[in-house]
Copies of this chain bind each other. A is one copy, B any other.
């Protein structure tokens, strides 16, 4: 497997693009389309929030036959909590994309991100698509990745190619997300394209697992959004022997899909609102994977841990404290904690450590925190960022 350029347009048979249609007051790009030349198998993972935006309901309907050919996405407005008109708006978006591409509206998936509770001026999308006729291109992944950004500070795209039984298969992806990022899922949108040939149930299975190991393991602020959506299209144009069972080829595909999802997910944490640090929390020696993930997420969502990391303060007591209230049963006297390669707490006792060395480690942009729980052999890693003045600034005046 090797990383290549091109994002969602790297696999065979995909075009993409993005434009400004006027939903964002700033006039920056706010509308993206991704399209396959031919109908593709499609699968998705959505937010577990009880309050779900209208595009999710419509995309679920359009996924019922397991196929889709295009994705339309806007930023600047979440199309959430506006009543029944939200569904109509989402349908209108699909129809506009369908007319543009000359396909059926049911072949289009839809996603929105931005402010909640304000009706989306969908006529701006309809008008823009009737005016601009050259949105899509083979180089359009960057434009699409840019048009789905909200408070993101950089666009997020990745692509890989790998060999499957002698055939080159490609997977590409773009994502957005910066605040309101939390497991199950981040406030994020992720769109994956691939030219692999695969049965739809296996595509869904692969996406769900990849999502659990990637997007569901990053957190910025502990807030799970109403709009989170991760879509994958698989158009089969690579020409590989179709993956129709859980075999070696399936495993190879899943590994590549996981890689793409994880790279995108880590970019979300790295671009956390106001973030000055990228934090990797490794939990080893847990009784089982669920315990390891629970402890790691409890640390990753602690405001006290995150502000200490912003302040480059080796306050490991807060790390242990957050592990302690995670709800996982463990013996604190078996636990050890290291910041980078500096052991600060061992088997229940704080260690006298070199403060200068701690300062050097914590002054880096990328910081690894390692916990050994001493209860078993399971491990998990979670990614997050620190909590800075700018997070407060960005979120104190988002709506206005």
Which residues of A are at the interface with B, using a C-beta cutoff of 8 A? 48-52, 78, 80-83, 115-118, 179-180, 182, 184, 221-226, 301-304, 307-308, 310-311, 313-318, 320-326, 328-330, 332, 345, 348-350, 387-389, 391-400
Contact = CB atoms under 8 A, between A and B. Distances in A.
Q: How many copies does the complex hold?
A: 2
B50 A332 contact: yes
Given A313-B400, A315-B398, 14 more contacts: A50-B324, A50-B326, A50-B328, A51-B323, A78-B317, A223-B302, A223-B322, A303-B387, A303-B395, A307-B395, A307-B396, A311-B397, A313-B396, A314-B399
A258 to B, nearest CB: 25
Contact of A350 (B117, B182, B393): B117
Given A308-B395, A313-B397, A317-B115, A350 B50 contact: no
Nearest to A310: B396
A343 to B, nearest CB: 13
Contact of A304 (B82, B223, B393): B223
B48 A222 contact: no
A37 B113 CA distance: 64
Contacts of A50: 323-326, 328-330, 332
A252 to B, nearest CB: 35
A70 B303 CA distance: 35
Given A321-B51, A398-B313, A348 B83 contact: yes
A284 to B, nearest CB: 18
B221 A49 contact: no
A182 to B, nearest CB: 8
A345 B81 contact: yes
Contacts of A321: 49, 51, 116, 180, 223-226
A169 to B, nearest CB: 36
A318 B116 contact: yes
Nearest to A226: B321
Contact of A392 (B48, B115, B310): B310
A321 to B, nearest CB: 5
Nearest to A222: B303
Nearest to A179: B304
Contact of A316 (B117, B224, B303, B394): B117
Contact of A49 (B83, B226, B324, B400): B324
Contacts of A332: 50-51, 81
B116 A304 contact: no
Most buried by B among A48, A311, A391: A311
Contacts of A349: 81-83
Contacts of A179: 304
A200 B140 CA distance: 73
Contacts of A49: 321, 324-325
Contacts of A314: 399
B313 A399 contact: yes
A392 B396 contact: no
A325 B48 contact: yes
A318 B226 CA distance: 9
Most buried by B among A179, A388, A395: A395
Contacts of A81: 317, 320, 332, 345, 348-350
A134 to B, nearest CB: 35
27 contacts: A49-B321, A50-B328, A50-B330, A50-B332, A51-B321, A51-B324, A52-B324, A81-B317, A81-B332, A81-B349, A83-B349, A115-B317, A117-B320, A182-B325, A223-B302, A223-B321, A223-B322, A223-B325, A224-B324, A225-B321, A303-B387, A307-B396, A310-B396, A313-B400, A387-B392, A388-B392, A389-B393
